[in-house]
Amino acid sequence: MSKQEKSQLKNNFMGASTKQGHEIAVESRKIVKSLIDHKISNLRPEERSIVERIVHSTADPEYAELIKMSSDFVFKSLESIKNNEDILTDINMVKTGINNYSGEIKCYINHYETKELARKEEITRAAAAIQIAASEGFEGVVVIGNSPTALFEVIKLKKNNQLRAKSVIGVPVGFVAASEAKEALEKTDIPYLITKGPKGGTPVAVAAINSLINKGK
Amino acid sequence: MSKQEKSQLKNNFMGASTKQGHEIAVESRKIVKSLIDHKISNLRPEERSIVERIVHSTADPEYAELIKMSSDFVFKSLESIKNNEDILTDINMVKTGINNYSGEIKCYINHYETKELARKEEITRAAAAIQIAASEGFEGVVVIGNSPTALFEVIKLKKNNQLRAKSVIGVPVGFVAASEAKEALEKTDIPYLITKGPKGGTPVAVAAINSLINKGK
């Protein structure tokens, strides 16, 4: 193994922690680069790295055309991550996929208070979970990998200065409301990463935040 | 709410547990049907239901053309699920996404013995985790949403009568080894669900197993 490979392995390059996992990750990254790098040459290195990791994780090169980041997204996200501020996720699948973060990762979807609030207010549990996080004083990067209603809630609370979201990875998935929620995020002044259209989801969200965490080390 | 809606809500239709979540799920399912049902009219109702849930979860209609199931897949999977046999997943993200199962869901990827075995044998942790499951006498449905090396291990152990896999959801994702692992599964006599080509991943795996669990109730 070369010195570079040893160092990459130590840092869990692309999530791999064994020599074999690492070889697969390196070979995959080469293929990803050959497929999409000509399409993302206008992006800065950290931004390219995020898009490459998303395409690696989904094996779907279309994401090179669907991902859009605000110009302050990487800077604001890294600032929060380097300070080990909390990360808030909409669902536990996203939380479970986040690796090697020194700060806390929070998700309130299955909390008792969330279920009660959802029932009382007649909103989704995912939206109620964001309200609970805000009321507990959350501050940091928000990662929405599944629920459009959670993303709408983030936008509303941030606008009312009730949620200290430093940046938002907003990639909810689905044919109903997901595109609209992402378009709404794009129109705010919140530093954002979105996917255009209905596609997105947990692997996209997880790849984006793990790429940033790795960069923040 | 109609009687049918109330009953669907009670059963967490498509994972929704609130009225608003349920409305989104129903509307989404209608759109999914309009997009893909003409492409999957040759499938049996339970099989169609699985494909629809995968397209709902990924917002990617291409899966209607990529998913392939062996003719005994649904029957053998439901048999195991109705008996509350264990479910084995390759990574914790898949485990986290599985809802409302009365049996146990196992994942050994982060176990100490798995890491030791991977190091000693120079294999991936995902492959070592399958070996550990086999040695503990696992019996039930196997769900591989991420790792091609885990799927190759399942095929090898099952062939040697060392793993009692009743069926395999084999949808690892990636440009390296994933297609090959799925083609290898297709050539066995194990009841299988695969995605053709590099695409797949945790949302596909989770949608497939949750659809079966729901049907098994």
Write the pLDDT tens digit of every residue in B99-129: 999 999 999 999 999 999 999 999 999 999 9
- pLDDT, greater one: B14 or A142: A142
Q: Whole-angstrom Cα distance, residue B159 to residue B184?
A: 12
Q: What pLDDT sits at residue B3? A: 56
CB contact under 8 A, B200 and A31: no
Mean pLDDT calculated for residue range A90-94: 97
CB contact under 8 A, A21 and B198: no
Q: Above 70 in pLDDT, residue A55?
A: yes
Q: What pLDDT sits at residue A52? A: 96
Q: Is residue B96 part of a domain?
A: yes
In this prediction, what percent of chain A has a pLDDT beyond 70? 92
Q: Above 70 in pLDDT, residue B1?
A: no
Q: Above 90 in pLDDT, residue B17?
A: no
**Residues of chain B positioned with their CB less than 8 A from the CB of A21:** 124-126, 149
CB contact under 8 A, B174 and A19: no
Mean pLDDT calculated for residue range A115-130: 95
Q: Is residue B19 part of a domain?
A: no
Alpha carbon of A97: minimum distance to chain B alpha carbons (Å): 6
Q: What pLDDT sits at residue A19? A: 78
CA angle B81, B85, B88 (to 5 degrees): 95
Q: What pLDDT sits at residue B6? A: 53
Q: Encoding tokens for residue A44?
A: 């800065």
Q: What sign does the dihedral A50-A52-A55-A57 (CA atoms) show?
A: negative
Q: Above 90 in pLDDT, residue A16?
A: no
Q: Is residue A172 part of a domain?
A: yes
Q: Whole-angstrom Cα distance, residue A89 to residue A95?
A: 6
Q: Is residue B36 part of a domain?
A: no
pLDDT band at A217 (very low <50, low <70, confident <90, very high): confident
pLDDT band at A41 (very low <50, low <70, confident <90, very high): very high
Contacts 24+ apart (CB under 8 A), B127-135: B127/A20, B127/B152, B127/B153, B129/B90, B130/B88, B130/B90, B130/B154, B130/B157, B130/B163, B131/B157, B132/B108, B133/B88, B133/B106, B133/B108, B133/B163, B134/B162, B134/B163
Q: What pLDDT sits at residue B25? A: 84
pLDDT band at A121 (very low <50, low <70, confident <90, very high): very high
Alpha carbon of B191: minimum distance to chain A alpha carbons (Å): 25
Q: Above 60 in pLDDT, residue B72?
A: yes
Q: Whole-angstrom Cα distance, residue B150 to residue B146?
A: 8
Alpha carbon of B58: minimum distance to chain A alpha carbons (Å): 6
Q: What pLDDT sits at residue A143? A: 98
CB contact under 8 A, B199 and A126: no
Q: Above 90 in pLDDT, residue A33?
A: yes
pLDDT band at A136 (very low <50, low <70, confident <90, very high): very high
Total Cβ atoms within 10 A of residue B106: 18
Going from the C-alpha of B137 to that of each of B132, B165, B172, the distances in angstroms are 9, 10, 23
pLDDT band at A46 (very low <50, low <70, confident <90, very high): very high
pLDDT band at B18 (very low <50, low <70, confident <90, very high): confident
**Residues of chain A positioned with their CB less than 8 A from the CB of B148:** 24
Q: Is residue A118 part of a domain?
A: yes
What's the CATH number where A152 sits?
3.40.50.10230
Q: What pLDDT sits at residue A4? A: 56
Q: Which distant-in-sequence residues (6+ apart) come within 8 Å of A95 by Cβ?
A: A89, A105, A106, A107, B96
Mean pLDDT calculated for residue range B185-211: 98
| Average model confidence (pLDDT) across chain B | 93
Alpha carbon of A132: minimum distance to chain B alpha carbons (Å): 17
Q: Is residue B141 part of a domain?
A: yes
Nearest of A65, A68, A59, A61 to residue A35 by alpha carbon:
A61
CB contact under 8 A, A119 and B18: yes
pLDDT band at A212 (very low <50, low <70, confident <90, very high): very high
**Considering its fold, how many domains does chain B have in total?**
1
CB contact under 8 A, B124 and A176: no
Q: Is residue B12 part of a domain?
A: no
Mean pLDDT calculated for residue range A168-182: 96
Q: Is residue A9 part of a domain?
A: no
- Chain A interface, mutation test: which of B175, B182, B206, most A Cβ atoms within 10 Å? B175
From A19, A124, A178, residue closest to B59, measured CB to CB: A178
Q: What pLDDT sits at residue B62? A: 97
Q: What pLDDT sits at residue B22? A: 82
| Average model confidence (pLDDT) across chain A | 93
Q: What pLDDT sits at residue A181? A: 97
Global confidence as pTM: 0.93
- Chain A interface, mutation test: which of B17, B18, B173, B206, most A Cβ atoms within 10 Å? B18
Mean pLDDT calculated for residue range A165-173: 98
Domain that residue A85 falls in: 65-215
Mean pLDDT calculated for residue range B53-61: 96
